């Protein structure tokens, strides 16, 4: 299956409607890596693709949400709920 820069740009536009910017950027990076490793032209650097990524960033932003840290307090709560049974997953904090 061959894909050109415009096809990848269309993919970025489509995926950015349902995925986070970081996820789409990771997909584009992976595609570029596969293309380079297979000795093919890296279309991820072409203007249509670069512009699609910029368009996505304007529409969605670039910042990622910070994950909630696993503090000792939260870990202690989880361990208290689990008790000695590691399968006791139906209770909530």
Residue 77: predicted pLDDT? 85
Residue 27: predicted pLDDT? 96
Q: What is the pLDDT along the chain (93 residues), one digit of tens a residue?
A: 578 999 999 999 999 999 999 999 999 999 999 999 999 999 999 999 999 999 999 998 877 777 788 899 988 888 888 766 666 555 555
DSSP-assigned letters across all residues of 12-75: HHHHTTTS-HHHHHHHHHHHHHHHHHTT---GGGSHHHHHHHHHHHHHH-SPPPPPPP--HHHH
> What is the domain partition of the chain in residue ranges?
5-60
Phi and psi torsions of 89, nearest 5°: -105, 5
Residue 66: predicted pLDDT? 78
Beta-carbon count within 10 A of 58 CB: 9
Residue 3: predicted pLDDT? 82
């Amino acid at each position: 299956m061959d894909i050109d820069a415009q096809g990848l740009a269309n993919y970025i536009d489509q995926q950015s409607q349902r995925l986070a910017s970081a996820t789409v950027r990771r997909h584009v990076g992976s595609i570029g890596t596969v293309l380079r490793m297979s000795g093919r032209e890296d279309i991820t650097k072409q203007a249509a693709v670069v512009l699609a990524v910029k368009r996505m960033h304007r529409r969605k932003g670039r910042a990622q949400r910070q994950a909630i840290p696993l503090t000792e307090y939260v870990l202690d709560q989880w361990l208290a709920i689990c008790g000695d049974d590691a399968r006791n997953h139906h209770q909530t904090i």
